[in-house]
Amino acid sequence: MVVSLGSVLTVLTGLAYWGSIVASDARNADATSQATSGVAMGTFFGIWTVAWALMYACTVPGKGVLDKGPVLAVLYTVIVLAASWLFLRASTITAGKAIACSPSASAAAWVG
């Protein structure tokens, strides 16, 4: 497997850019602390690595009912929804705030 230098630089640059955005959000959420992007990025990579491992385990051949596409689709949907909810929940706990999940509450938060 050959990995080009350009692809590695693209990924590293994207991670650095995302880290600066997350660190800025962390500092804005709590101006009295020295907040960093480490917790948010760590939970993101940890949760989604576990989600990937679970989805990968579902695709190992010879599992009987797991060889059926519709069953895999339901399992993948459940895994992705659970990982998404867990990451959002971890993010709101980390920020020290509870964010409502309704569209009207989200709109009200953006409007001010």
Q: What is the pTM of this model?
A: 0.66
The pLDDT of residue 67? 81
Q: Are 91 and 24 contacting, i.e. CB atoms less than 8 angstroms apart?
A: no
* Alpha-carbon torsion (12, 14, 15, 20), positive or negative: positive
pLDDT tens, per residue, the chain with 112 residues: 677 889 999 999 999 998 888 888 877 776 666 666 778 888 999 999 999 999 999 888 777 888 888 989 999 999 999 999 999 888 776 555 444 444 444 444 544 4
Phi and psi torsions of 97, nearest 5°? -130, 155
The pLDDT of residue 10? 94
The pLDDT of residue 76? 95
